[in-house]
Amino acid sequence: MSSRRLRSRYAAFLASLLLVASTATAGPPPAGPFEFVDLTPTGEVKGVVETAGRPVSPGTAARVPYALPRQAFAGEVEPNGTAATASPIAGTNVVIRGNLYPNGDVDYYSFTASAGDRVYAATMTSFSAGNSTDSQLTLYASDGTTVIEFDDDNGSLAGLSSSIAGATIPAAGTYYLKVNDFTAGTASERSYELHFRLQSGAPTPEVESNDTPATANPLPANGWVSGTRNPAVATEQDWYSISLNAGDTVYLSLDLDPERDGVTWNGRLGFALFGDAGNQIAVVDDAGTGDVSPNPNIPSEAMFFTVKTAGTYYAFVDSATAATGGPTATYHLSVSVHPATNEGINCTVYSSADVPKTIGPGTGLVSSTITVPGHPRIADLDVDVVLNHALMQDVDAHLRSPAGSDFGLFTDIGAAATGGQTQMDLVFDDEAGIPPAFTVLKGMHYKPENNSTAGTASTSGAYRLSWFDGQDAGGTWTLDLRDDTAGANGGTLTSWALRICEPPPPPTCAAGFTTTTVFTTDFESGAAGFTHSGTQDEWELGLPATVATTTANPIAAFSSCNSGVNCWKTDLDTPTTPRATRTCCRRTSTWPASRRPWSSRGRSATRSRRPTSITCSWTPSRSGARPRCASTSGSSRRRSAPRPVRATPR
């Protein structure tokens, strides 16, 4: 393996995500000065794969109807491991959530394009709870084998992610993107997000002078512009303005060799403005060394951001080195907006009346509550937190549900020293553009934190709000804030709120059909015909009694079922054995000819005479994971009792 492959993440990255941003407020934009703040290093190591990844499983409120949506994801359809089975990309501005799993998985995507179109694509792997964030991205010609462009490490989120910017389509036809992990066969990425934008025609040239927010060029409708960093002086900065709605996500992609003539330069890409004083620009600055044959050194930059409030924002292009530039320092910039989209219905915000709360100074726990009335079932959950602290990394946050589920939101994010950013005004949202990556924490949506050490995003913890999905939200929720450092620094929790969306009603039958419940059980009378087996089988039926631990990898208390006192769980009262292989909840049912099963989700009308078996196999690597079940027909199900609803002819 070459020395390039063995380089450390920090050497591979060689560039930081920096910040220089502005708040979206009325009136003229600030004139500066602006601040640049380094990204907190993540500890990624090229070619190093963690042997066991972290599993992805798992006051009175003021009730206000509310809808603060987020970007919508398309999904991959397995199997898609070859060009022939590629998942089609429907549209020219799409973000796809996929998984490289099991280890060694490869994902292909197909799209149609015309001659001269330009492809912008990038992976966001910072939220991976697998054992790697080190993606590779390949653009293939219509034959599915000829490489048009390849990238390894030009991305910045995470530092070993991939970015292709401005690759030219040679002729009309179907083309392919392949996503794989650098370490073939031994690594997984769960999940990654693939941002895709196809631009047609020609970009709009910049108009000088556009060196400040006040003189920024408005981005055209397609968000595609061309420019040159000329002259090579510190004041040569190109600013572009864009109006966004609350919850919108942007994908910015910077092509630093649009002519593909081998004349390149190291540009810096930013998005602004944010922060305590509205003077922070979030900047990515990758070294541009992540390309290999047949296209050596085609540098690009990619970044993603979700904004909290509607207003005017800015895309920013310059170089970290004032002397870099000149007439050959050309670029194309593509800015794509993924409009805010609700996940679920009846989205409502519940705000805490149990505020303000003093945090610190010194170590200690402070808690605040929200009581959610009624019994809304959770399809999607977001958490809005507003607080201040003199040393932000002192603060850790966990959220506890009425059912007793206790999951983290963040640990030690933000400024690591006094004198830095002291304000937090965030929405934590699984569908946001990125997890916390900058020390600025005001004015955006972040995914919950996804800690990383030693080349993986998962070793020290991966948090997911989706772990609350399906729970009854009615009752008292608790936000726990811990100041984990002794000292004189403290702060205040000013406000916090929950945004809860409910699932849509179940589908109804078409005319001429009625619904029939073919099987249901709450397990109160026993196993109901379900069996379990496998090496180190630890499935048990009963009432969980897992006691919380305070070890380096703590386990939350688990003492309830979805209903009643019987449910299936691995180890009712002790941690699950890592890396055990087991088959859970297996039940085989034979359908009478008069009631041949139809799709339980109403998505197809394909009947089957075969016996239907709901099974799942799970190979966990940490305790607390949640298995997923799949029927013999390929549809995905959660573990525990299936709830099929079949439509049968009258």
User: In the chain, what are the helix, strand and coil shares in percent, each to the nearest 5?
Assistant: 5, 40, 55
Query: Residue 26: which domain range?
Result: 3-49+202-338
Lowest mean pLDDT among 108-112, 146-150, 351-355, 526-530: 526-530
CB 549 within 8 A of CB 574: no
- The structure tokens 């992805």 sit at 56
Lowest mean pLDDT among 40-54, 80-94, 406-420: 40-54
Within a domain: residue 598? Answer: no
590: Cβ–Cβ under 8 A, 6 or more apart, which residues?
Answer: 611
Report the chain's mean pLDDT, rounded to a whole number. Answer: 80
What CATH number is attached to the domain comprising 470?
2.60.120.260
Grade residue 551 by pLDDT with cuts at 50, 70 and 90. low
pLDDT score recorded for residue 509:
84
**Cα–chain center distance at 585:** 30
Is residue 391 pLDDT above 70, yes or no? yes
Same domain, 191 and 206: no
pLDDT score recorded for residue 328:
96
Closest CA to 372 of 401, 338, 397, 392: 401
Same domain, 376 and 252: no
Which of 16 and 528 is assigned the larger pLDDT?
528
Quick one: average pLDDT of 350-364? 96
Lowest mean pLDDT among 89-93, 279-283, 507-511: 507-511
**Cα–chain center distance at 133:** 12
Residue 165 parent element (H or E): strand 163-168
Tell me 153's DSSP state. Answer: S
Closest CA to 25 of 274, 360, 317: 274
Q: What are residue 349's DSSP bridge partners? A: 64, 499
Same domain, 165 and 92: yes
Within a domain: residue 358? Answer: yes
The number of beta carbons lying within 10 Å of the beta carbon of residue 526 is 10
pLDDT score recorded for residue 554:
64
Rounded CA-CA distance 53/49 in Å is 9
Rounded CA-CA distance 503/437 in Å is 31
pLDDT score recorded for residue 66:
33
Share of the chain above pLDDT 90, in %: 58
550: Cβ–Cβ under 8 A, 6 or more apart, which residues?
Answer: none
Q: Which of 477, 502, 527 is the last residue of a domain?
A: 502
Same domain, 94 and 153: yes
Rounded CA-CA distance 274/52 in Å is 37
Same domain, 283 and 370: no
CB 275 within 8 A of CB 421: yes
CB 240 within 8 A of CB 263: no
- Using DSSP, state whether 595 is helix, strand or coil: helix
Is residue 139 pLDDT above 70, yes or no? yes
Domains identified in the chain, total number: 3
Amino acid at 481: L
Which of 16 and 389 is assigned the larger pLDDT?
389
Share of the chain above pLDDT 70, in %: 73
Tell me 355's DSSP state. Answer: -
Handedness of CA 146, 152, 155, 161 (dihedral sign): positive
Quick one: average pLDDT of 41-52? 52
CB 149 within 8 A of CB 137: no
Same domain, 269 and 309: yes
Same domain, 191 and 229: no
Sheet with strand 217-218: strands edge to edge: 17-21, 280-284, 268-274, 311-318, 238-244, 217-218
Q: Which of 199, 214, 233 is the last residue of a domain?
A: 199
Same domain, 268 and 310: yes
Within a domain: residue 280? Answer: yes
Within a domain: residue 525? Answer: no
The token duo for 243 is: 């109006």
Highest mean pLDDT among 17-21, 498-502, 518-522 belongs to 498-502
Within a domain: residue 318? Answer: yes
pTM strictly above 0.85: no
Within a domain: residue 581? Answer: no
Rounded CA-CA distance 538/545 in Å is 14
Q: Which of 171, 199, 227 is the last residue of a domain?
A: 199
Same domain, 366 and 484: yes
Same domain, 368 and 482: yes
What CATH number is attached to the domain comprising 177?
2.60.120.380
Q: What are residue 382's DSSP bridge partners? A: 499
628: Cβ–Cβ under 8 A, 6 or more apart, which residues?
Answer: 616, 618, 636, 637, 638, 639
Grade residue 538 by pLDDT with cuts at 50, 70 and 90. confident
* 628-631 vs 636-638, strand pairing mode: antiparallel
Within a domain: residue 544? Answer: no
Rounded CA-CA distance 41/228 in Å is 30
pLDDT score recorded for residue 116:
98
pLDDT score recorded for residue 613:
34
Lowest mean pLDDT among 47-56, 277-286, 361-370: 47-56
Same domain, 214 and 193: no
Same domain, 352 and 445: yes
Within a domain: residue 310? Answer: yes
- The structure tokens 């100074």 sit at 361
